[in-house]
Amino acid sequence: MSAQRSIVIGGGAFAGLALALALRQGLGRDIPVIVADPALATRPSRDPRATAIVAACRRLFEAIGVWGEVADNAQPILDMVITDSKLEDATRPVFLTFAGHVEPGEPFAHMVENRHLIDALTRHAEACGVDLRATAVASYDQHADGIDVTLADGSVVGAALLIAADGARSKLRERAGIATHGWD
């Protein structure tokens, strides 16, 4: 088992890796930070999707030192029109639009291929001493002194904090009994 002061993050996509870097920068190297996600076994990332990164998130990625690595592969989004019309419809009512800059010369968002951002986050996390484990959080047991986190590879980590960053259908969130409300 690791020290009880460990922080375990279940999920190694944007949220989990960015949080790990921010924690490492804020807390220093004395507190072990572990990111557990089976997707970390695939390097470089092969995630074929792209994501719109709003200005606030881009600023976060700048602060943790990764934006410079992906900026050349990012496309600024200068205008967005939202409708539920089909392309062939004669009229296309607009429900919502976004346009302009947050600050002069700063677009409100950028489109980035996930693989570029995940690879940059992973490289920086490794360089900062974040313990990246290509396995999932299988279960956890809370007790007065912390949390024993069992990983799918059988290892157990004694932690002070377990963070669920395992996506919209988070198994960790469900197990913790944290409710969500949503609709189709």
Q: Is the pLDDT of residue 2 over 50?
A: no
The tokens describing 147, both together, are 């949390």
Q: What is the pLDDT of residues 60-82, one digit of tens each?
A: 999 999 999 999 999 999 988 88
Closest alpha carbon to 164 in 42, 36, 66, 39: 36
Q: What is the pLDDT of residues 151-162, one digit of tens each?
A: 999 999 999 999
- The torsion angles phi and psi of 63, rounded to 5 degrees, stand at -60, -35
Q: Judge whether 8 and 172 are in contact, CB under 8 Å.
A: no
- Say what the alpha-carbon torsion angle 177, 138, 20, 61 is, to the nearest 10 degrees: -80
Instruction: Write down the pLDDT at residue 84.
Output: 87
CA angle 12, 48, 8 (to 5 degrees): 0
Instruction: Write down the pLDDT at residue 160.
Output: 95
Interatomic CA distance for residues 50 and 138, integer angstroms: 28
Q: What is the pLDDT of residues 25-53, one digit of tens each?
A: 999 999 999 999 999 999 999 999 999 99
pTM score of the predicted model: 0.87
Q: What is the pLDDT of residues 87-144, one digit of tens each?
A: 888 888 888 888 878 888 899 999 999 999 999 999 999 999 999 999 999 999 999 9
**Which residue do the tokens 């360089």 mark?**
127
